[in-house]
Amino acid sequence: MRILLYSTSSNIFEPKTAVVKNFPSSAQQLELLAKSFPEHSFIVATQLPGMFLLDMNGSENFQKANNVQYEIIKSDDEAEIADFLYSLNPEIAIATTFFVTPFDWLTAKDALVADFLRQKGIKTVCHSVKTALTCFDKWQTHQKLLQLKINTPKALYINHALFINAGNRKTVKSNVYKTALLSEIKKLNFPVVIKDTTGLSSYGMDVLENFSQVHDWLRSKKFTSDRIVEEFIKGEQFGTEIESILSKPIQPKKNSGCFLHKILPPMIFSVNKYGITSPKQSVKLGPVTKPEYKMEELNKILKKIAESLDFEGITQVDLVFAQKKWFVIEINPRLSGMTASYAAMQNMTIFERILKTAGIQNKNEQKENFVLNIKFPLLTEEEMTKLSKKSFVKQVYQTENLAAKQEREKGYCEVILTSPAKENLSHNIKELAEVLPQKTEKVFFETALELAKKI
């Protein structure tokens, strides 16, 4: 079978601003995939930068896997992209959607391409446009969760144009919308979170302790677009992924109902001083299976979401456990910062996981590893290699922004380590800290050891 892995992008590609290093590289992982499945042919087609699929290193050149066909998508029009992908003669196309800032909307673009491909008779594994839009707009996500009667923080939507400009109309002497909304905000339980309706992860999110801070924020230069004011749930933060796996023959031009949803056990996250998870600083550890976390209840919640939104492929979900119950915070129908960690947990590569969503797997399910995802500051290639040589280290990934001016924006190195037994995990964490003692951030490792006690 000719299997196409594709992804699109909406952003201008600036190769000289970003350097990505990965041990093992994406090319090495793809080459392993091709060797493991000799009966299939693999095609990689993507717009640059091709996160997950390509190893970009400050230029448009990238390392290629043997026995894998590579194509760079030049057009930015979804119909033209689909025509190009169709010309590659795939029998099935699997979206490997990644994420960008400021708008986390690439799921919708990949979905539009998938619609055109299905019209041409190509099987696809890709979330629908409807699913993409529901999850892209955090207020739509909130409304969907309420409709499904799933716990989610109480929240209010602020229409920026009405809040700021309604009182400026010549015939309007008072802004009733603004007054009413401020009255409703006062009724919320504080602290609250103010976040963009369409932003990526926690970027641009603020935690505010009282109404006065909210009022000041809404009069500040930060308030430039529609926002959500959401009660901050004080609890333990988690994330998980759902694998929606093709299990029935796809109907002509229709995928709905053909996927079975596998709920993966969650990982617990560390939080920053504001009580939120920072993608550049968080420690992730799992799987969490302790009965006190009510896993059966969580599985029912996530399966309900997956079936209602007709997921296809991999979906990431942010969670909080508080008051002895689960709250769903956000849903991201795409690959995520957890995808490689779950691959390590399952003794797979990312690409084996992606292929599994198409119902293609030649491995028996293995016992799951315990896994830790932890951050280092930027490292040299020699230092990264030194870490990767540890038998329990499954991946070392570094992203560096050459255009960044502030130190905290320049990038980080992410290390994924595993242990087949929970009791050995703390030992591996301590041993990892000793590999590069001068580069080890003590607070991250102390946090990891504390989280290890909770799983």
Query: pLDDT of 224-276, one tens digit each?
Result: 999 999 999 999 999 999 999 998 766 655 666 689 999 999 999 998 877 77
Same domain, residue pair 240 and 351: yes
Q: Which residues contact 418 (CB under 8 A, 6 or more apart)?
A: 344, 345, 369, 370, 371, 372, 392, 394, 428
Q: Could you tell me which residues are beta bridge partners of residue 269?
A: 284
Confirm whether 147 is domain-assigned.
Answer: no
> Would you state the pLDDT for residue 253?
58
Same domain, residue pair 333 and 434: no
| Angle between helix 106-119 and 129-136 (nearest 10) | 170
Same domain, residue pair 3 and 116: yes
CATH number, domain at 64?
A: 3.40.50
**Please, which pLDDT band fits residue 410 given cuts at 50, 70 and 90?**
confident
For the record, the structure tokens of 305 come out as 């979401």
Confirm whether 200 is domain-assigned.
Answer: yes
> Would you state the pLDDT for residue 272?
81
Distances (CA, A) of 92 to 34, 67, 231, 246, 358: 16, 18, 43, 11, 8
Same domain, residue pair 103 and 202: no
Q: What is the pTM of this model?
A: 0.94
Q: Is 26 helix (H, G, I), strand (E, B) or coil?
A: helix
Confirm whether 146 is domain-assigned.
Answer: no
Cα distance between residue 2 and residue 91, in whole Å:
5
pLDDT tens by residue, 343-397: 999 999 999 999 999 999 876 667 889 999 999 999 999 999 999 999 999 999 9
Confirm whether 178 is domain-assigned.
Answer: yes
Overall average pLDDT of the 100-119 stretch: 96
Same domain, residue pair 120 and 41: yes
Chain mean pLDDT for the chain? 93
pLDDT tens by residue, 172-191: 888 999 999 999 999 999 99
For residue 216, the tally of other CB atoms under 10 A from its CB is 11
Q: Is 115 helix (H, G, I), strand (E, B) or coil?
A: helix
Q: Report the half-sphere exposure of 234 (CA within 13 A, side-chain side).
A: 7
Q: Please, what is the end-to-end C-alpha distance for the chain in angstroms?
A: 41
CATH number, domain at 284?
A: 3.30.470.20
Counting residues of the chain whose pLDDT is more than 70, the rounded percentage is 95
Q: Which residues contact 134 (CB under 8 A, 6 or more apart)?
A: 140, 141, 144, 309
Same domain, residue pair 356 and 346: yes
Confirm whether 61 is domain-assigned.
Answer: yes
- Identity (one letter) of the amino acid at 113? V
Same domain, residue pair 400 and 341: no
Same domain, residue pair 14 and 120: yes
Count of domains for the chain:
4
Given a cut of 60, whether residue 193 has pLDDT beyond it is yes
> Would you state the pLDDT for residue 256?
64
Last residue of a domain, one of 324, 344, 368: 368
* Window from 39-43, 57-61, 139-143, 387-391 with minimum mean pLDDT: 57-61
Same domain, residue pair 170 and 246: no
Last residue of a domain, one of 312, 335, 368: 368
For the record, the structure tokens of 84 come out as 């190009």
What are the start-end ranges of the E strands in 73-159?
92-95, 123-125, 155-158
Burial grade of 164 (CB within 10 A; 0-12, 13-18, 19 or more): middle
* Window from 37-46, 205-214, 439-448 with minimum mean pLDDT: 439-448
Domain with 24, as residue range(s), is 1-126
Last residue of a domain, one of 183, 212, 231: 231
Based on its alpha-carbon atoms, the radius of gyration of the chain, rounded to whole angstroms, reads: 22
- Taking alpha carbons only, the member of 2, 41, 39 closest to residue 122 is 2
Tokens 């099935």 belong to residue = 92
Cα distance between residue 264 and residue 258, in whole Å:
19
Report yes or no: 217 and 330 within 8 Å, Cβ to Cβ.
no
Report yes or no: 235 and 275 within 8 Å, Cβ to Cβ.
no
Report yes or no: 426 and 370 within 8 Å, Cβ to Cβ.
no
Confirm whether 77 is domain-assigned.
Answer: yes
Overall average pLDDT of the 59-81 stretch: 92
Confirm whether 141 is domain-assigned.
Answer: no
CATH number, domain at 403?
A: 3.30.70
Overall average pLDDT of the 309-332 stretch: 98
According to DSSP, residue 151 is labeled -
- Identity (one letter) of the amino acid at 360? I
- Identity (one letter) of the amino acid at 231? E
Same domain, residue pair 427 and 301: no
Same domain, residue pair 226 and 352: no
Cα distance between residue 404 and residue 42, in whole Å:
36
Confirm whether 438 is domain-assigned.
Answer: yes
Same domain, residue pair 216 and 268: no
CATH number, domain at 195?
A: 3.30.1490.20
Counting residues of the chain whose pLDDT is more than 90, the rounded percentage is 80
Report yes or no: 49 and 57 within 8 Å, Cβ to Cβ.
no
The whole-angstrom distance between residue 265's C-alpha and the CA centroid of its chain comes to: 16
Angle (nearest 5°) at CA 295 between 292 and 300: 140
> Would you state the pLDDT for residue 61?
75
